[in-house]
Amino acid sequence: MCGLVGLVSPTENEAEVARAAVDSAMRCQRHRGPDEHGTWHGSEVVFGFNRLSIIDIEHSHQPLHWGPPEAPGRYTINFNGEIYNYLELRAELTEKYGARFATDGDTETIVAAYHYLGPAAITRLRGMFAFLIWDSERSMVFGGRDPFGIKPLYYATGPNGTAFSSEKKSVLELASTLGIQLQMDRKALQHYLTLQYVPEPASLHDTVRRIESGTSFTITPGGKVTTERYFPASFKIRTVRSEAEADALYDEITEALRDSVAKHMRADVTVGSFLSGGIDSTVVAALAKEHNPDLITFTTGFERQGFSEVDVAAESAALIGVKHVVRTVTAQEMMDSLPLITWYLDDPVADPALVPLWFIAREARQHVKVVLSGEGADELFGGYTIYREPLSLAPFEKVPGALRKAMGKVSTKIPQGVRGKDLLRRGALTLEERYYGNARIFLDDQLRQVLRTYDPAVSHMDATAQAYRESEHWDPVTRMQHVDLFTWLRGDILVKADKMTMANSLELRVPFLDPEVFRIASQIPSELKITKDTTKFALRKAIRDIVPAHVLNRRKLGFPVPIRHWLKDEMHDWAVGIVRSSQTDQYIDKNAVLRLIEEHRSGILDHSRRIWALLVFMIWHGIFVEGRIHPVVPEPHYPVKL
């Protein structure tokens, strides 16, 4: 787990100038890899690397050079991530092709697989990754990003070349070197206020983009980035006709998870696990305990009734038999830390849960260097409550289209906050119109009130259209899962997981997001995912002998953060101060925002998520556009707690 920087220039670089620019860009992301730093330059490319040493600690230094016997040193690789099947893949490459390796790590495995298997090698990798491979014979970079988007990869192209990096702020550092201008992307801002994140491949700077999840690419000096999607995330639903066939499916899920966790435990450092009150992290921790009897688990919570899973997690830890560490977060800590956390984010993500995640990651880093976590289970196995919506809205499907539209118009006349208004509105819409992921922050009429320039042509369907096209023959629940895999999961869940852990030089691994686990999960019929009584039905059946009973059928809490209460009290003056000092008037009607804050405080309506989204954007703008806010970024330093 590390941070990479790559500069591909159309003409031969002045070596020292280019290396100095890359060195500066690397300093912005030193938290991603404080153990080692390395740079390398060829005639048309410069690579820089910050390493967090996890596997083959004494070797596998990067940028790493590799080549076959007839062309030693032909390739140079920059690789961020972990390949969990690297031992098996190394053995195969050695047996079939006579591949030779000078290290015991996974980095060489990637470049050797590329040499012998070509671009298709990327489909053989089980892991999380973003990498660049320079082929000196072909004067070309081949790169790619893992299937689900666990590891980030930003890029920008200008008249003086193309830059890649694990963090956007490093690309911004290289803007002048590339000869590009940095401007706000108003369309991306509108998407952010709707979705609570900026959907891939965009960022809030119009010239900085992201390589999308499940995508490989090539670029030659002076050329453009050419991408190809290698992972379509197709669901191939299995027909289950009997209880015996269902039991066989549950067994396959269990074995896939067991195998994935075993491979995710591969490391030359101590591995711990996050543990909440839900089944996802609990099954991961229980399976990890089988490989590490001294496993340490970590939980975070709040000192407010109904907003903490600490007690449930502690009970689970005791039953699993692991050491358990708890970190409680206060409102004051949330306020004090948000500017620094926003700096780490690169682009705003209006998910309040990322703040306590940052705190527990910081605590965990005092004990371990790697943690496992349960991200991805909801998207793969049908865990979100909203996936039950097709059941509740089924009666609307029988209503003629014209009448459904009329019902939608009626809903607009019902005052905000009146019970049934949103049900009527959503029932009048098609699935494509109403579902765009788990977060729905600002609706269109609300956006018109806060945005200076509202563009009616910008729609959430811009982000979901392709996923819906690809899934048009699937059932509604599966289509919703597919949409989330390419929007919510990679735009919110995995961004906060990567940014908040790497901010603390902590590697986070997600065993649910494994190609083999997905292969089995993608076959589950909807009736074994969502029932009238529960979500993740098949997963619960598969892990019933692994997870403690008090967790197995527990309602999903979703890790709520008490900002609804805090924004009325402890956070009110702080929020008002952020709005008044912000220089975002060209984008946001600040008076409208202040009205939202006061309406929320008075209890007229719950505007907490909308207020939070605006506050995070204003802090982001103060850091990356105004240059007015300067978070103090600590040097990576981790005294180990015994």
Which runs of consecutive H residues, i.e. helices, occur in 265-399? 279-289, 310-320, 331-345, 354-364, 377-381, 389-392, 394-397
556, pLDDT greater than 50: yes
Average pLDDT over residues 412-438: 82
Residue 53 sits in a domain whose CATH number is 3.60.20.10
- Give the residue-averaged pLDDT of 496-520: 97
- Contacts of range 20-26, beta carbons closer than 8 Å, 24 or more positions apart: 21/46, 21/173, 21/174, 21/177, 22/46, 22/47, 22/48, 22/174, 23/48, 24/173, 25/163, 25/165, 25/170, 25/171, 25/173, 25/174, 26/50, 26/170
Same domain, 218 and 283: no
Is 491 part of a structural domain of the chain? yes
Least confident piece of the model among 41-50, 123-132, 338-347, 516-525 = 41-50
Query: Are 453 and 600 within one domain?
Result: no
The closest alpha carbon to 461, from 489, 492, 429, 490, belongs to: 429
CB 285 within 8 A of CB 320: yes
Q: Please tell me whether residues 247 and 213 are part of one structural domain.
A: no
Q: Of 499, 522, 552, which marks where a domain is finished? A: 552
Token duo for residue 515: 């190609």
Q: Report angle CA 560, 562, 564 to the nearest 5 degrees.
A: 115
Q: Are residues 281 and 332 in the same domain?
A: yes
In contact, 292 and 271? CB cutoff 8 Å: yes
**From CA 98, how far away is CA 252, in angstroms rounded?**
34
pLDDT score at 43 = 85
567 vs 615: CA distance, rounded Å: 11
CATH code where residue 347 lies: 3.40.50.620
276 inside domain? yes
Helix (H) or strand (E) holding 308: none
pLDDT for 552 equals 87
Contact 207, 183 (CB under 8 A): yes
pLDDT score of 571: 97
In a domain, residue 235? The reply is: no
Mutual angle of helices 494-502 and 331-345, in 10-degree steps: 100
598 and 544 both lie in a single domain? no
In a domain, 481, yes or no: no
- The 323-329 sheet, strands edge to edge: 323-329, 296-302, 271-274, 370-372, 507-509
**Which residue ranges are tagged as binding site for L-glutamine?**
106
Quick one: 315 and 456 in the same domain?
no
User: What b/e readout covers 288-320, taking b as 16+ CB neighbours within 10 angstroms?
Assistant: bbeeeeebbbbbbbbeeeebbbbebbbebbeeb
Active site residues: 2
Q: Is residue 341 part of a domain?
A: yes
Q: What pLDDT does 642 receive?
A: 47
* Res. 55 pLDDT band, cuts 50 70 90: confident
Kindly state whether residues 225 and 161 are assigned to the same domain.
yes
Instruction: Evaluate if residue 640 carries a pLDDT over 60.
Output: no
Domain that holds residue 461: 386-475
What is the mean pLDDT of the segment spanning 414-429? 79
Could you tell me if residue 237 is inside a domain? no
For residues 163 and 69, state if they share a domain. yes
Sign of CA dihedral 172, 334, 295, 638: positive
121 lies in the same domain as 149: yes
637 or 490, which is more confident: 490
pLDDT in tens, 439-495: 889 999 999 999 999 999 999 999 999 999 999 999 999 999 999 999 999 999 999
Pairing label, strands 226-229, 209-210: unpaired
Report the DSSP beta bridge partners of residue 129: 81
Domain endpoint, select from 229, 256, 284: 229
pTM score of the predicted model: 0.95
> 408 versus 19: which is more confidently predicted?
19
CA–CA separation, 525 vs 382, rounded Å?
A: 10
Among 294, 493, 370, residue whose Cα is nearest residue 84: 370
Q: pLDDT category, 557, cuts 50, 70, 90?
A: low
**Higher pLDDT residue, 319 or 428?**
319
Q: How many domains does the chain have?
A: 4
**Interval 197-216: pLDDT, tens:** 999 999 999 999 999 999 99
Task: Report phi then psi at 389, rounded to 5.
Answer: -60, -40
Say if 238 falls within a structural domain.
no
List the Cα angle 497/190/489 in 5-degree steps: 25
pLDDT tens-digit profile of 277-319? 899 999 999 999 999 999 999 999 887 666 667 888 899 999 9
Q: What pLDDT is recorded for position 410?
A: 76
Do 541 and 567 lie in one domain? The reply is no
Where does residue 441 fall: left (phi above 0), alpha (psi -120 to 50 degrees), or beta otherwise? alpha
Domain boundary pick from 475, 507, 528: 475
* 629: in domain: no
Return the structure tokens found at 558.
């979703």
**Are residues 496 and 467 part of one domain?**
no
Name the region of 573 (left: φ>0; alpha: ψ -120 to 50; beta: rest): alpha
**H helix or E strand, kind and range, residue 228:** strand 226-229
pLDDT band at 81 (very low <50, low <70, confident <90, very high): very high
d(CA 597, CA 248): 53
Same structural domain for residues 360 and 468? no
**241: how many CB neighbours lie within 10 A of its CB?**
8
